[in-house]
Amino acid sequence: MAGSRGSYYSALKRITKAANSAFGLRKICNSVAKSTAKAMQANGCRILSLNSRKEYLITVGTYGLSDLYLKKGPLDARKSLPDILEGRAVFIADATEDERVQHPQVALAQGIASILGVPILERGQAIGEIRIYTREHRQFSEADKNFLFSVADVCAVIFERAELHQLLAQDYKASERRGKPSQLSPLPTTTLRPTRFAHPSEEDFAKLLDFYCIEWLYEPRSFPLRWEGGKIAEMFTPDFYLPELDIYVELTTLKQNLITEKNRKLRQLRELYPEVNVRLLTKSDFLRLLAKYGYGPLGEAKVEGVDRVLYNHARIQRRIRTLARHISRDYAGERLVLVGILKGVICFMADLMQHLSLPVTLDFMAISYYGVDGQVVKITKDLDGSITGQHVLMVEDIVDTGMTLNYILDHLSAHNPASLRVCTLLDKRARRLIDAPLDYVGFETPDEFVVGYGLDYRGEYRNLPFIGILHPGLTKGEQLQE
Ligand code: 5GP
């Protein structure tokens, strides 16, 4: 018998008190893990949070587990106990034999025999997990499971509160920068973050990654490098892991003695773990690496005038591949004329057409705006070829008020195409004045002035490989159209 009704009751009292304390997320979760493990007479407990895309689990609180066990790497959510994602409890009688355990040799070294995990649910969706570890083989009773489910419910509230705090902190900082009152907006990636970094440069780095919307994990894995008498004598823990790029990053300053030592460890790591992609980087090296992956302009920590990145390069490319699949499926067996409106559409058009598995031809139109507020549209370059009797897909960078689209659609319809549809990368629906039919939409964007990936402000910013929000101070309320 693990815990009695009385011990579970007093543990729940302690847990809810911790949950309602003013401490940070990690401290609260460590305290909850400790009370839970003790009440269940278990040897360890771990509280994990799922990242926003439900790909991996990150430890946010622990009790009774060694550093090595905790830093055995980010856990793949689909491989590690997939039942949790379905909202079900998982019981593992023998952790060293069960194929659902991702690092059984580490479990063996730690003397872990049984594991009980239950999902942390928010409105029926798994957002994390709480796990109990025992050294002896254990059968858990219904009372044990019910207790753990109750702790998981408390964890859901703790997570929600922590995310709200992060959201408020970020929003507060953003509004301070903009000099505007706080207006809550969703975080690009809602992952619970560690509260403490070992070094201020790591925090700077994390901010830079956030700016470029690159997901990161802080020190998620330790690699044993040297053993003495069966015990680990040396380990190496890279500072960051970037799951989207599958790269571990170790930051370094310019102090030569530190670089030499880190290089030695990295050489060892590469010999022992050849499948692991790890880089030793100075800040400027890192920016060069980002540029290679299409994230930032070379050598610039941040793009002057861009408040924050809304869609990074990888995300735009993923979305375009999906759009192209839908278009190719809908027009299967047909020929298609893509009509783009210059100049904002150039990047989108170039990437989209490369993923279409159809015979396509291209045509372009250019327009300018006149009138007091530039609200009247005039065609400055018309189509080169005829579209009569052809299937036409009009490709737009962004649909804002819908006036341009409406005008161009009228113009194109007059040429009697066989069909006429619209594909836009961005849909700023909140500002629509004329209801325009959109058949394919990349992203529904907030009501902010965006630049990059073809979109300009006064002719600049088109070359950025991402789409970002322009610092509101720059536009001062005007909306440039070209
Ligand atoms: P609409 O006629 O739908 O109001 O405006 C469409 C045109 O306005 C787009 O093709 C684009 O050139 C410009 N536009 C609208 N919103 C933005 C924005 O947020 N950023 C940029 N760079 N251009 C925009």
Cis omega (within 30 of 0) for bond into 38? no
Beta carbons of 51 and 189 less than 8 angstroms apart: yes
Task: Using the mean position of ligand 1's atoms as its centre, give its distance from the Cα of residue 406 in Å.
Answer: 13
Answer yes or no: is pLDDT of 325 > 70. Answer: yes
Of 369, 398, 450, the residue with max ligand 1 atoms within 8 A of its CB, to mutate for a pocket test, comes to 398
Nearest CA to ligand 1 atom 7: 481
Q: What percent of the chain has pLDDT over 90?
A: 37
DSSP state of 425: E
Nearest CA to ligand 1 atom 13: 481
Active-site residue flag, 94 = no
> Catalytic residue among 210, 307, 400, 427, which?
400
Side chain identity, residue 120: I
- Continuous H helices in 299-432: 313-330, 346-354, 403-413
Q: d(Cα 23, Cα 433) in Å, to the nearest integer?
A: 48
Collapsed DSSP state (helix, strand, coil) of residue 91: strand
Nearest CA to ligand 1 atom 14: 481
Answer yes or no: is pLDDT of 1 > 60. Answer: no
Edge-to-edge strands, sheet with 467-470: 306-311, 467-470, 450-451
Task: Using the mean position of ligand 1's atoms as its centre, give its distance from the Cα of residue 318 in Å.
Answer: 23
**In what helix (H) or strand (E) does residue 278 lie, and over which residues does it extend?**
strand 278-281
Beta carbons of 219 and 252 less than 8 angstroms apart: no
- Give 342's pLDDT tier (boundaries 50, 70, 90): very high
Ligand 1 atom nearest the C-alpha of 402 is: 3
**In what helix (H) or strand (E) does residue 304 lie, and over which residues does it extend?**
none
Integer-rounded Cα Rg, in Å, for the chain is: 27
Work out the mean pLDDT of the chain and round it to a whole number.
82
Question: Model confidence over 91-123: pLDDT tens digits?
Answer: 888 887 877 776 677 677 778 889 999 999 988
pLDDT of residue 66: 77
Q: Class of 197-300 per CATH?
A: alpha beta
Please state which of the four CATH numbers 3.10.20.310, 1.10.357.10, 3.40.50.1370, 3.40.50.2020 is assigned to the domain occupying 311-474. Answer: 3.40.50.2020
pLDDT of residue 373: 58
**What's the CATH superfamily of 5-166?**
GAF domain (3.30.450.40)
pLDDT of residue 176: 47
Lowest mean pLDDT among 96-100, 317-321, 441-445: 96-100
Task: Using the mean position of ligand 1's atoms as its centre, give its distance from the Cα of residue 476 in Å.
Answer: 16
Ligand 1 atom nearest the C-alpha of 404 is: 2
pLDDT of residue 222: 85
pLDDT of residue 471: 78
Task: Using the mean position of ligand 1's atoms as its centre, give its distance from the Cα of residue 449 in Å.
Answer: 8
Higher-confidence residue of 444 and 195: namely 444
Tokens of 310: 């809304």
Lowest mean pLDDT among 113-122, 159-168, 221-230, 426-435: 159-168
Average pLDDT over residues 14-29: 88
Task: Using the mean position of ligand 1's atoms as its centre, give its distance from the Cα of residue 399 in Å.
Answer: 6
Which residues approach ligand 1 with their CB closer than 6 A? Answer: 344, 397-405, 428, 449-451, 455-457, 481-482
* Domains of the chain by residue range: 5-166, 197-300, 311-474
Ligand 1 atom nearest the C-alpha of 399 is: 3
Higher-confidence residue of 109 and 88: namely 88
Residue in this structure with the two tokens 């809602």, named with its chain if needed: 190
Tokens of 241: 């892991």
- Give 16's pLDDT tier (boundaries 50, 70, 90): very high
Q: d(Cα 326, Cα 343) in Å, to the nearest integer?
A: 25
Residues 6+ apart with CB under 8 A from 357: 324, 328
Ligand 1 atom nearest the C-alpha of 482 is: 12
Side chain identity, residue 230: G
